[in-house]
Amino acid sequence: MNWIPKDPLAKIDIKYKLPLGFVCLYLVVFSIGGYFIINSVYAPLNREILLRLQSESLAQAAVFEQKLEMLARRSEDFASDGFIRTHVHNHVKRENAPGSPDEFRQHLLVNKLPLVEEFVDLQVFDMQGNQIISALEDFYDIQPELLEKQQQLGAIITPGESVSFPSTAIITPLWDIKMTNQIGYLVCVVNLVSVINNTALDYEEGISEARIEKYLTFVDQKGVAIEVPWWYLNRLHPEENRPADDEGIGIRVLTERDAVKPELHVGRHTCQNGKEMFGQSYALRNAGWSTLIELNAADAVAPLSILEGNLLGVALAIAVTTLVLFFFPIQYLVKPLSELQRMALRVKEGDFSARNKIDSHDEFGQLARTFNIMTDAIQERTTRLEQTASDLKRQESEIRIQHNRLQAVVHSMGDGLILLNHHGEIVLSNQAAQPIIQKLNSSERPGSIRKCERHEPDTEQCVSCLLNRQYTTSCELNLNDKIYEVISSKLPSLNGASGKVLVARDITERERMNEKQVHQERLTVLGKTAAVVAHELNNPLAAISMYNQMMQEELPKSSTFHEHVDVIRRNTETCRKIIRELLDYARVPEPKSGEINLNNILQDALNLLSPLHKKKKLSIEKKLKTENLLLWGDASHLQQVFVNLLDNAMQAINPKQGKIQITVGEFSNAARIYVDIQDNGAGISSENQTEIFEPFFTTKSSGGTGLGLPTAKRIINAHGGDLILLKSENRKTVFRVLLPRRNKMKNPQHSSLKLMGV
């Protein structure tokens, strides 16, 4: 049975596979044996390490607890001081103390604090937790935990800005002189570095643990810990190497954020930094703290690691010896195979003259002769293939040249070109044909038909017609605000299946020019007709007006026909106004160009409309330029423009709440001046904004001819500027007049020609 269908070491040479296979097998056997041997040693070693750490932890805990009890008794001695109790009692009773606060502080500094080396500060608090006095001002800010009346040891105080070493506080109750009532607390601040320096155990000098990673840790009730490295404890002895009390080099404080739980560090465990440690803990029953000793597992089992290294070295030495012994027999097996491999690589690189020269009658010799026969056949076939490839390459080059020429011609065309195969698929197109391609590929069939020679304007039928290979069509389509003329014709193919070619030409500008020309011709005819009609109507209107005046003079003052006469007069004036505007629009103006002041023209226009302004009680705000704005143009024509714009604004606003704002300014390059006329009327609807400058278009219910804005725009255009609707919305409509500076119209004759429309 074939258990392994594929050789897992197929990519490794035989000259390496055989010796390495033997060596690997040897190493596996050796490793399994070494594993069981090492494990049989690890278990008792771990137990021995934990027992030693347990004894060290117990010894350190006993010494440290004894030291803390001694400090607690000294704190009780300080609390029994009569001077301290008398001063605190008088302070609590609000009586005069026997001495001043400075004398009290001096008593603590001189008579008490120097007696105990580990005490760095003495503080006195009343029963409410308020500090009465401190031996060192602003040295500590302690709020003692006053929950019990018996003596207690506080938590570890981490180093801060005022001190650089960890400390704690021994809180002792203060009683009055008669020992009947508690009157406060005495807080003795203890330097823990000094405590550690004075309580470290003395070990034998023959045991050197200065190079190993080992820690003695003290943990308080909240999990705040002081971590002391073992090398720091060793340097405390002999006595001359002992550090100063305030020196905490090597001691690290773990805050509440990195709180330590001693029960998690017992036995062999992994710390947060990823290191494996041995640990033992012992509780300080009276203080509520715990001692913890941890030892790096790598340092503890270092001798065993050395033993493992020695075993591995022996195994490697045996493996190297085996490789040397396998060298000579492998040569007779591997050398023929290497020769066959070298010949195969030469054939792969194109050297078909390579032949194998192995002369033997075994399996390797038969394989070498078969390889030579195969090489002869490959050489012959390769020669024929090279000749065929050369012919194909020459033909491909010719076809590529023709294809590039065709691509250059197609993409340089201004008209769109689309080539369809017999399946209706696009095989060739240019950039100009993209709108038509989007229409053919779109499922929504956008656009519409303007003209088609085969059917009614139906988009679905048009697309089907363009894709049908049997039809030759010509149509005009509206696509994306453009007009395209599409001509399609059949395209025969070599295999008998016909395709189709579509040519699309953008005729948008041509159609727009035609429409503009037709519109211009219609306006010209309409203008001439209006001028003739207006001229012919002047005589009848003059007669009507004359006879109306005669009738008004002959009627008695009490006659009721005076009202009819007024109606005839008003309507006659309206007809005259309409005829005058028609004649003004149709008449070729003869302006008088000259240097003008824009501020004066605006003021004249406002003065002319002042009666209407006062009648409607509207407000006009002017923001004019302080300097004189000199232009070149016709003052009367420009005044007509501003009168027309202001009159339209006054008619569009509310008579009681109307407001018009006139703003004059210039652009940053000082080449053009703008005049904005803004009103707070109802505004112009969006559908009418594109029509307001067309002749005879008006939104007024009566009295409007629709020639005011077109005439104003024609006058501004003749001055080299423009009149635009800048913004129109509810309570804000702005018309902007753009005019060039005076250097834009230096030739008066040229200006007059522009005003006449030449």
CATH of the domain at 220: 3.30.450.20
Residue at which a domain ends, from 285, 300, 315:
300
Number of folded domains that form the chain? 4
Q: What is the pLDDT of residue 757?
A: 34
Q: What is the DSSP letter of 702?
A: S
Q: Between residues 72 and 474, which one has the greater pLDDT?
A: 72
Within 10 angstroms of residue 554's Cβ, the number of other Cβ atoms is 8
Query: Is the pLDDT at 420 greater than 50, yes or no?
Result: yes
Q: Which is nearest to 589 in space by CA: 681, 711, 467?
A: 711
Indicate if 121 and 189 belong to the same structural domain: yes
Q: pLDDT band at residue 746, thresholds of 50, 70 and 90?
A: very low
Domain assignment of residue 386, yes or no: no
Using CB atoms within 10 Å of the CB of residue 211, give its burial: 0 to 12 exposed, 13 to 18 middle, 19+ buried.
exposed
d(CA 44, CA 300): 13
Within 10 angstroms of residue 635's Cβ, the number of other Cβ atoms is 19
Average pLDDT over residues 394-403: 88
Q: What is the pLDDT of residue 754?
A: 37
Q: What is the pLDDT of residue 735?
A: 92
Q: At how many degrees (to 10) do helices 708-718 and 562-586 cross?
A: 30
Indicate if 421 and 487 belong to the same structural domain: yes
Indicate if 557 and 488 belong to the same structural domain: no
Average pLDDT over residues 492-511: 76
Domain assignment of residue 306, yes or no: no
Q: What is the pLDDT of residue 737?
A: 92
Q: Which is nearest to 526 in space by CA: 274, 396, 318, 710?
A: 710
Indicate if 614 and 554 belong to the same structural domain: no
Residue 470's domain comprises 413-506
Indicate if 240 and 281 belong to the same structural domain: yes
Q: Between residues 463 and 447, which one has the greater pLDDT?
A: 463
Average pLDDT over residues 445-465: 60
Indicate if 428 and 523 belong to the same structural domain: no
d(CA 13, CA 18): 9
Q: Between residues 20 and 417, which one has the greater pLDDT?
A: 417
State whether residue 722 is helix, strand or coil: strand
Model pTM score: 0.40
Average pLDDT over residues 487-501: 73
Indicate if 527 and 481 belong to the same structural domain: no
Q: What is the DSSP letter of 354?
A: -
Q: Which is nearest to 102 in space by CA: 143, 142, 137?
A: 137
Q: What is the pLDDT of residue 147?
A: 45
Indicate if 104 and 209 belong to the same structural domain: yes
Q: pLDDT band at residue 756, thresholds of 50, 70 and 90?
A: very low
Average pLDDT over residues 399-408: 85
Q: What is the pLDDT of residue 141?
A: 60
Indicate if 567 and 690 belong to the same structural domain: no
Domain assignment of residue 327, yes or no: no
Q: pLDDT band at residue 736, thresholds of 50, 70 and 90?
A: very high
Token pair listed for 619: 């407000």
Q: pLDDT band at residue 5, thresholds of 50, 70 and 90?
A: low
Query: Is the pLDDT at 748 greater than 70, yes or no?
Result: no
Q: pLDDT band at residue 242, thresholds of 50, 70 and 90?
A: very low
Give the count of alpha carbons within 13 A of 397, CB side only.
6
Pair 278, 302: CB distance under 8 Å: no
Q: Could you report the per-residue pLDDT of 509-534, keeping only the tens digit for each?
A: 887 788 777 767 776 776 677 777 77
Domain assignment of residue 320, yes or no: no
Indicate if 205 and 108 belong to the same structural domain: yes
Average pLDDT over residues 334-340: 75
Domain assignment of residue 493, yes or no: yes
Q: Between residues 424 and 559, which one has the greater pLDDT?
A: 559
Domain assignment of residue 370, yes or no: no
d(CA 72, CA 209): 33
Residue at which a domain ends, from 300, 329, 348:
300
Most confident of 107-111, 241-245, 442-446, 694-698: 107-111
**Kind of pairing, strands 659-666 and 619-623?**
parallel
CATH of residue 554 = 1.10.287
Q: Between residues 310 and 674, which one has the greater pLDDT?
A: 674
Q: Between residues 289 and 491, which one has the greater pLDDT?
A: 289
Average pLDDT over residues 730-735: 88
Identify the H or E element spanning 169. Answer: strand 167-175
Q: Between residues 168 and 480, which one has the greater pLDDT?
A: 168
Q: What is the pLDDT of residue 747?
A: 44
Q: pLDDT band at residue 411, thresholds of 50, 70 and 90?
A: confident
Token pair listed for 250: 């090597």
Indicate if 217 and 80 belong to the same structural domain: yes
Query: Is the pLDDT at 677 greater than 50, yes or no?
Result: yes
Domain assignment of residue 394, yes or no: no
CATH of residue 742 = 3.30.565.10
Q: What is the pLDDT of residue 539?
A: 76
d(CA 490, CA 492): 6
Query: Is the pLDDT at 273 greater than 60, yes or no?
Result: yes
Indicate if 115 and 221 belong to the same structural domain: yes
Domain assignment of residue 400, yes or no: no
Which residue carries 């501020």 as its tokens?
599
Residue at which a domain ends, from 233, 268, 300:
300
Average pLDDT over residues 667-692: 82
Q: Could you report the per-residue pLDDT of 591-624, keeping only the tens digit for each?
A: 567 888 888 888 888 887 777 666 677 888 888 8
Q: What is the pLDDT of residue 587?
A: 58
Q: pLDDT band at residue 718, thresholds of 50, 70 and 90?
A: confident
d(CA 242, CA 234): 9
Contacts 24+ apart (CB under 8 A), 170-176: 170/68, 170/71, 170/72, 170/75, 171/144, 171/145, 171/146, 172/72, 172/75, 172/76, 172/78, 172/79, 173/79, 173/149, 174/79, 174/84, 174/85, 174/88, 174/124, 175/79, 175/85, 176/85, 176/89
Query: Is the pLDDT at 627 greater than 80, yes or no?
Result: no
Q: Between residues 146 and 700, which one has the greater pLDDT?
A: 700
Q: Between residues 37 and 418, which one has the greater pLDDT?
A: 418
> What's the chain's average pLDDT?
76
Q: pLDDT band at residue 204, thresholds of 50, 70 and 90?
A: very low
Q: Could you report the per-residue pLDDT of 78-91, keeping only the tens digit for each?
A: 888 888 888 888 88
Query: Is the pLDDT at 240 greater than 80, yes or no?
Result: no
